Amino acid sequence: MFLAHLSRTGPQWNAARPMEEQTEWLTHAAYMDMQVDEGIIVLGGPLDDMRVVLAMEVESEEAVRAILGRDPWSDSHLRIDAIEPWTIRLDGRRPRPPVRESSGTTPGLA
């Protein structure tokens, strides 16, 4: 199951500094990289309005909260805004099977 996660900056976020100069950056980055390596975080990054979006492949909202609760930036630099189930219908990362018409044929092929 995929879940989309949105978070905002928290009370220890220093808006005068770039992300890489925030306190605890190295430990946060290492933790997030570990989640990517384990296949939990599929995509992620900051938005222009100081929010962060993550696409996570986990079994529940509770799992997202537990995983992100162990992040060194949890509640200090980032606070969860929303966690929503996400049905991915378009995915350029994986080969996709051909689209079939209701007759069972592939469009354009006889």
Domains of the chain, earliest start first: 2-86 (3.30.70.1060)
Distance CA 32, CA 37 (A): 9
Neighbours of 54 (CB within 10 A): 22
Q: Kindly give the confidence (pLDDT) of every residue in the chain, 110 residues in length, as a single tens digit, with 9 standing for 90 and above.
A: 899 999 999 999 999 999 999 999 999 999 999 999 999 999 999 999 999 999 999 999 999 999 999 999 999 999 999 999 999 888 887 776 777 777 666 566 55
Strands, E assignment, 1-110:
2-9, 41-46, 51-57, 78-86
